[in-house]
Structure 1
Amino acid sequence: MRIAPVGEEEAKAASTMLIGAGLHGHKYAIDAAVAEMAVRQRRPVVLLTSDIDDMTKLCGDRVRLVSV
């Protein structure tokens, strides 16, 4: 597990990911912040999530997603 701050740069990158995935609104903001952090980690990366569909839209194939 890793805890990391979300600053302005990370928030802007998450916003870009939302736009690229065709998602918008506060409903997806936390997912986008988590996805942004996951994609900038050294590979391999595994992300446990209950929302495979949205996280797939955000992360693509850059992160291995595991449903919980």
Structure 2
Amino acid sequence: MLVEVIHPRINHAALHWTLSRLRVEPVSQALAQTAATLLRDAGLHGREYAIDAMLCATALAHPGRVTILTSDVEDIRLLTAGHPRVAAEKV
């Protein structure tokens, strides 16, 4: 989440360079419903998993293979079980 990386010691030039290469996707009702389904299917619930579920729903909305870079590989894999075109890699 962007708000988590902005702090006084951040290299602002590097941050702006990185952000210029990203595409920001809006949160929609359809994505939220997909995220809720992913949570239900994984047997998870609550705010602890909500952002991960939205990330996975967004990944699933894109065509082709998608790799999610995350420090929480286990939760991402739980949420995307049964969706082989989405992979999670630890960073």
Mapping of 1:1-68 within 5 angstroms?
1-60=22-81, 61-68=84-91
Structure 2: state its 5+ residue gaps: 1-21
1:2 Cα deviation from its structure 2 partner = 2.7
Percent identity, please: 41
SS of aligned partner of 1:3: coil
Equivalent AA in structure 2 for residue 62 of structure 1: R
- Give the greater-gyration-radius structure (CA): 2
Structure 1: state its 5+ residue gaps: none
Q: Distance in 1 between matches of 2:68 and 2:46?
A: 22
What is the TM-score with the length of structure 2 in the denominator?
A: 0.69
Asked if 1 retains the 8 angstrom alpha-carbon contact of 2:77 and 2:87, the reply is no
Q: Which has the higher contact order (CA 8 A, sep 6+)?
A: 1
Aligned-residue CA RMSD (Å): 1.1
